[in-house]
């Protein structure tokens, strides 16, 4: 009940972010149900059914990442002085955050089930003149236990990930600088391995291509903090002024927080570049739904990470303003950070996407 009261009493912007999580969960739930419908309608093509289910892991991972980012920026579960005295310590707030995430994802799964049943004609008859009947296996009964199991994946995964990300930590975290320089070699190695796997599996089945793309995405996500940290260090070279020095220092300090979402966005962008080189815009409706969920969730996660970074720098910004720093300097610093990150990650995204498309196209 406490989690529901906190959800109901929060700011409308926070409620909007939770509704976006529910919408993403609805998209993933619908894709999972469509994979189940394909398996029911094509019992002799089990390999294709498994492959369709595996491809649903990409929007599922993007949705879980977005749900965790929303939970991290939720002000209602942020530790504040005095809350422990009324029984709202860090562990209780973590449980509330996990519960709120589960509620949002469950709402999305319920919407997905209603839409799926409506398009199958199980509620009010076949809509759209039965255009989706073959795609959703409308002539076959829905295996209710399997459908509910698949729909429970998103709430369980989202709540578990939110609880693990926000759990109280008894030991001090490793310095951000050390964590960001340490992940770069592993990220580059996984990136190269993923491209090699895609090259090897180019003439084989789609499962190998999926595995290669996942390795590439993990490699870019691991290398993102190191690349962001290196960009901040590069800004401070050769007699930096106050703006370059401040922008570079912020990038170095926030490399771990914003570098990983940047790496994930770069991975999604590289996949989009490779997919466009192969197929152009000729995708089916379910493929477009999956692309929309992945792109929307990763972009929203990056924006949430930027918001979290801004909130973490509140005291520093206030101190600079008290010392007489003009607001234009802070705005110029923010624009410089964004420009440097675009100049680094956009060519990297295009290069990885072009390299991934070469063996697939051949």
Q: SS3 for 172-194, per residue?
A: CCCCHHHHHHHHHHHHHHHHHHH
Query: In the chain, where does DSSP find H-type helix?
Result: 2-8, 12-41, 46-55, 57-72, 90-120, 144-151, 153-165, 176-200, 206-235, 242-253, 255-279, 285-312, 314-322, 327-361
Largest CA distance in the chain: 72
C-alpha span between 220 and 267 (Å, rounded): 6
C-alpha span between 345 and 65 (Å, rounded): 20
Q: DSSP letter for 129, please.
A: G
C-alpha span between 67 and 44 (Å, rounded): 36
pTM: 0.85
C-alpha span between 347 and 343 (Å, rounded): 7
C-alpha span between 31 and 184 (Å, rounded): 34
Nearest Cα neighbor of 212 from 191, 190, 192, 197 is 197
> According to the model, what pLDDT value does residue 173 have?
47
- How many secondary structure helices (H) and strands (E) does the chain include? 14, 0
> According to the model, what pLDDT value does residue 65 have?
92
C-alpha span between 128 and 173 (Å, rounded): 55
List pLDDT tens digits, range 136-153: 777 778 888 889 999 999
The C-alpha angle with vertex 160 and arms to 159 and 163, in degrees rounded to 5, equals 85
Query: In 280-313, where does DSSP find H-type helix?
Result: 285-312
C-alpha span between 41 and 233 (Å, rounded): 56
> According to the model, what pLDDT value does residue 6 have?
56
**Token pair belonging to 5:** 């009261």
> According to the model, what pLDDT value does residue 323 have?
79
Report whether 65 contacts 101 (CB < 8 A): no
Reading the chain (362 residues) residue by residue, the pLDDT tens digits are 555 555 555 667 778 888 999 999 999 999 999 998 888 888 888 888 888 888 899 899 999 999 999 988 877 666 565 555 555 667 777 888 888 899 999 999 999 999 888 888 777 766 665 566 667 777 778 888 889 999 999 999 999 999 888 877 665 444 555 556 777 888 889 888 888 887 777 666 566 777 888 888 889 889 999 999 999 998 888 888 888 888 889 899 888 889 999 999 998 998 888 777 777 667 778 888 988 999 999 999 999 888 888 878 888 888 888 878 788 888 888 899 999 999 999 999 998 888 887 776 65
C-alpha span between 102 and 104 (Å, rounded): 6
Q: At what angle do helices 176-200 and 255-279 cross, to 10 degrees?
A: 20
> According to the model, what pLDDT value does residue 172 have?
46
Among positive and negative, which fits the CA dihedral 68, 72, 76, 82? positive
DSSP string, 38-90: HHHH-TT-HHHHHHHHHHTHHHHHHHHHHHHHHHHT-GGGS--TTTGGGT--H
Nearest Cα neighbor of 158 from 65, 23, 297 is 65
Report whether 90 contacts 168 (CB < 8 A): yes
Among positive and negative, which fits the CA dihedral 284, 263, 270, 198? negative
Report whether 104 contacts 4 (CB < 8 A): no
List pLDDT tens digits, range 28-79: 999 999 998 888 888 888 888 888 888 899 899 999 999 999 988 877 666 5
C-alpha span between 59 and 27 (Å, rounded): 8
């Amino acid at each position: 009940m406490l989690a529901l009261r906190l959800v109901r009493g929060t700011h409308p912007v926070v409620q909007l972010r939770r509704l976006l999580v529910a919408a993403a969960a609805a998209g993933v739930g619908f894709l999972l149900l469509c994979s189940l419908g394909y398996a029911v309608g094509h019992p002799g093509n089990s390999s294709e059914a498994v492959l369709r289910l595996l491809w649903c892991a990409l929007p599922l991972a993007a949705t879980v990442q977005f749900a965790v980012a929303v939970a991290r920026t939720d002000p209602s579960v942020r530790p504040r002085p005095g809350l422990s005295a009324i029984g709202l310590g860090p562990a209780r707030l973590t449980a509330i955050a996990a519960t709120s995430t589960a509620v949002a994802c469950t709402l999305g799964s319920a919407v997905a089930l209603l839409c799926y049943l409506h398009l199958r004609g199980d509620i009010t008859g076949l809509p759209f003149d039965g255009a989706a009947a073959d795609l959703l296996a409308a002539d076959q009964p829905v295996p209710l236990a399997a459908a509910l199991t698949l729909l429970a994946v998103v709430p369980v995964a989202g709540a578990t990930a939110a609880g693990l990300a926000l759990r109280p930590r008894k030991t001090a975290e490793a310095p951000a600088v050390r964590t960001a320089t340490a992940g770069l070699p592993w990220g580059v190695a996984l990136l190269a391995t993923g491209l090699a796997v895609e090259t090897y599996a180019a003439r084989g089945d789609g499962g190998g291509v999926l595995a290669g793309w996942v390795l590439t995405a993990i490699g870019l996500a691991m290398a993102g903090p190191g690349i962001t940290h290196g960009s901040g260090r590069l800004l401070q070279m050769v007699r930096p002024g106050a703006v370059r020095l401040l922008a570079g220092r912020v990038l170095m300090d926030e490399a771990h927080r914003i570098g990983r979402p940047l790496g994930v966005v770069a991975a999604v962008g590289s996949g989009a570049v490779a997919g466009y080189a192969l197929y152009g815009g000729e995708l089916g409706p379910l493929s477009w739904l999956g692309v929309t969920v992945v792109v929307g969730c990763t972009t929203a996660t990056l924006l949430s990470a930027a918001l979290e970074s801004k909130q973490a720098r509140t005291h520093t910004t206030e101190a600079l303003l008290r010392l007489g720093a003009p607001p234009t300097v802070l705005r110029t610093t923010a624009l410089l950070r964004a420009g440097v990150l675009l100049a680094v990650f956009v060519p990297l995204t295009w290069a990885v996407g072009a390299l991934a498309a070469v063996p697939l196209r051949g």
